[in-house]
Amino acid sequence: MGSYWGDVAEKGISWSLVRHNMKLLSNIAPSFTVYGNHDKRAGTAQLARILRESGVQLLQDNVEYLKSGNDRLSLIGMDYRSKQGDVLLEQIGDSFCKIAIVHDPLQALRLEQNADLILSGHTHGGQLVLPFFGPVFLSKAYRPISNGWYSLKHNPEDIDQEGKMLVSRGYGTNHLPLRLGCPAEMHIITLRVPTEKVLTEKRGCPISQKNG
């Protein structure tokens, strides 16, 4: 989400549009965000104020605990290019399901501590994707993780790490205001409480996902 608002700022679109969309989100449900690279370039002072006024909580290397009945999970927001991600994850331990928001998927893959789910973006899915050639604007480092679901295992023998990462194509653009072979997307992710058997055997945070 973060880079979309930075795109808006860099392209000179009215901040009132940003404020309007933020309020729509926060009226639907509690809303959280992290900064992306475009936000940093555009300047964060005005965006931070709009976030506060709109009721959207900015997570900058901090943790928010979410509750539903007796269930509780941790939402970790990591600032763009921050080095504090492993510290935050280690402090939480394994008592809670850990969901991390990390704008850059390469930053996410450098984490050593376990997470159940990482939500990421940054790539725009490549934005312009040509048959046989692939993404036009996406650097080589990001091509293996351009969009979709990925395992967080560092190697196949890793039995402790069961987490997944979702890299979203999102709905913003970069360089050119168009997409080709790479439709915009949003996600509805459902978290389900593990059965008693699963809980006694291993820690889990079962996830199902729907694209839209």
pLDDT on residue 206: 65
Query: 81 to each of 90, 109, 147, 189, how far by Cα in Å?
Result: 18, 12, 19, 25
Q: How confident is the model at residue 156 (pLDDT cuts 50, 70, 90)?
A: confident
pLDDT on residue 19: 81
pLDDT on residue 64: 96
Mean pLDDT calculated for residue range 174-189:
91
Q: For the chain, give the percent of residues with pLDDT over 70.
A: 84
Residue 44 has pLDDT above 80, yes or no: yes
Residue 200 has pLDDT above 50, yes or no: no
In the DSSP assignment, the letter for residue 171 is S
For residue 14, what are the β-bridge partners? none
**pLDDT tens per residue across span 117-134:** 999 999 999 999 999 999
Residues near 91 by beta carbon (within 8 Å), at least 6 away in sequence: 63
Residue 60 has pLDDT above 50, yes or no: yes
User: What is the model's pTM?
Assistant: 0.86
159 or 188: which leads in pLDDT: 188
H-run or E-run covering 148: strand 148-151
The CA distance from 175 to 164, in Å, is: 29
